[in-house]
Amino acid sequence: MELEENIILQIKSKLSSLSKSEKKLGKYILSHAVETVNDNTSELAKKAGVSPATVVRFCRSIGLSGFSQLKIRLYADASGLDREIYTDITSNEDIAMIADKLALRFNQSITQTANLLETGCIEKITAMVDKSPAIYVYGIGASHVAAEDFMHKFSRIGKPVVHTLDHHLLGSSLINASKDSMFVAISNSGETNEVIKLTQIAKQNGLFTAGITQKRDSTLARIVDVPLIHHGGEAVLLRSAATTSLAAQLFTIDVLYFAYVARHYEEIMHRLKNSKINIQTFFRKENN
């Protein structure tokens, strides 16, 4: 099921990838969202200082069928909300407004990621998780948090996962890994040097590689066997996009995890119950 995305945040997240004239139009629409609803193509083009053809191209570039759909989405998303909610956090921001702004961005990030994730890619990766004697995973910076989450989730259900921040150590492990193992690389930009180098080492040694990134045209997405593309968020100074892109990475890992669990449900539920009982028994004895 295709989930409806917030068009204001959708435009903001696409701005950096648009042509110069499309970007100019996008910025105008963001500043005059309610007014744009009442314009026709020629009127909007004149006000924004672009050609009518640019309006048509802009709509397609942000994933819409045409200007009519843009106006419908703008009316739905812009007319009922305070425009301030679409801006980044400001000095002395009210706490309630901070919460509302972040909630809007988190919802947008998860919705767009759900629409971007490809079922076929998820199935290929979960099939390799099933077959691999060991899974190596790496991320740096905020992506390290996502890599750690991957390790915790899959380790709890009995999958051997190797994760460390030391890329030299992980590189050595990949060189000596069994050929039917797999490497999961996580990088929001898809260009992180350490992530790219480790992915290349994994590929050179015959490992299956999967990449989690927001950039479909990034180096990481191009070189892995299976890329998973998530929403990245808009580029802003306070890096709220880094927060929402991390949420998108965690959501992507959740989808992978629960897709795997769903295919091995009885076995995994049995493992989790036994693990819980044994750990509780062990620590209860230790505390006595």
Domains in the chain: boundaries: 7-86, 115-271
Residue 224 pLDDT greater than 60, yes or no: yes
What's the confidence (pLDDT) of residue 278?
A: 81
How high is the mean pLDDT of the chain?
A: 88
For residue range 66-93, list pLDDT tens digits in order: 998 898 888 777 655 545 555 667 778 7
Whether the CB-CB separation of 79 and 37 falls below 8 Å is answered with yes
Q: What is the pLDDT of residue 86?
A: 54
Q: CA 227, CA 233: separation in Å to the nearest integer? A: 18
At residue 237 the predicted structure's pLDDT band, cuts being 50, 70 and 90, is very low
- The CATH number that domain 7-86 falls under is 1.10.10.10
Model-level pTM? 0.73
Strand, helix or coil for residue 161: strand
- The domains spanning 7-86 and 115-271 adopt the same CATH topology: no
Nearest to 247 by CA among 109, 104, 61: 109
Give 151's pLDDT tier (boundaries 50, 70, 90): very high
Fold of the domain built from segment(s) 115-271: Rossmann fold (3.40.50)
